[in-house]
Each structure stands twice: as C-alpha cells, then as structure tokens.
C-alpha cells in the first residue's frame, strides 16, 4: 500500500474562463448569439447531466462574445464541440469554422471560398 503525506493536500480552486468571439457572423446577421447562449445553457453537462450548471459553470453574453467561466474541470475542446454541433443544427457549418486564437479564446470565422475564383481569373488572363 502506498504511503501518502498528509497535511498540505488541499485543492486549489481552478477557475477557467473561455471566450467564444462571434462578432463577425453576428454583425452580418447570420448568427444568433442569444440562441447560442441558450444552446450552451441547455447542453453543457455537469456531472453527467444537462441543466445542472448551478454555480459551477456560468455563461455570460457581452455584445457578440460568450464567456464561459467554470469552477470545475472543464475542457476548452468541449466548448468547440458544442459550438460545432450548434452550427450543424442551424446549417451554418458549411460557412463558418471555429478557430482557436489563443489559449482561452475561440473565434467564429468564415471559410475562405474566394480562392477558387482567383484561380479562374488567372486562367482567363
């Protein structure tokens, strides 16, 4: 049996804060930030259950940005997964992608579809 040291075995309160920046598509009126906020409220699971956020996970909307603050273990990848599911549900997945801009922020950005048009113009010249 392993012997453990007792005493200073306290857990620190690890508060993680993630931001999803939806400003580009929201300014073009194709992305509803309020609906996305509600989707996150309804679909984030805490201890294996949805609608169980309590004080452990807080979701705040400020203009076109959603901030998710968690006082429990919470992965950034889970936010990306839920965002992609929301985009697929609203048939926006073909137009928007989720990009990590830094360690705590995601950005919704349009796919660059102008590359094919540029090649056609070069062939005509």
pLDDT (tens digit per residue) in 1-30 = 555 555 545 555 688 999 999 999 999 999
Q: Give the other-Cβ count within 10 Å of 26's Cβ.
A: 18
In this predicted structure, the answer to whether residue 108 has a pLDDT above a threshold of 90 is: yes
In the chain the domains, ranked by start, together with CATH numbers, are 16-111 (3.30.1360.210)
Closest CA to 50 of 18, 85, 92: 85
pLDDT of residue 54: 84
pLDDT (tens digit per residue) in 29-80 = 999 999 999 999 999 999 889 888 888 999 999 999 999 999 999 899 999 9
Q: What is the helix (H) or strand (E) element at residue 86, kind and residue range?
A: helix 76-89
Q: Is the pTM of this model over 0.85?
A: no
pLDDT of residue 38: 95
């Amino acid at each position: 049996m392993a012997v453990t040291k007792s005493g200073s075995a306290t857990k620190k309160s690890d508060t993680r804060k993630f931001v999803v920046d939806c400003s580009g598509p929201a300014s073009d009126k194709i992305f509803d930030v309020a609906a996305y906020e509600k989707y996150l409220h309804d679909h984030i699971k805490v201890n294996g259950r949805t609608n169980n956020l309590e004080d452990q996970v807080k979701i705040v909307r400020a203009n076109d940005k959603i901030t998710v603050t968690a006082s429990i273990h919470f992965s950034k990848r889970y936010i990306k997964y839920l965002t992609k599911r929301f985009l697929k549900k609203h048939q926006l997945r073909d137009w928007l992608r989720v990009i990590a801009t830094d360690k705590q922020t995601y950005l919704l950005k349009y796919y660059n579809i102008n590359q094919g048009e540029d090649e056609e113009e070069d062939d005509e010249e």
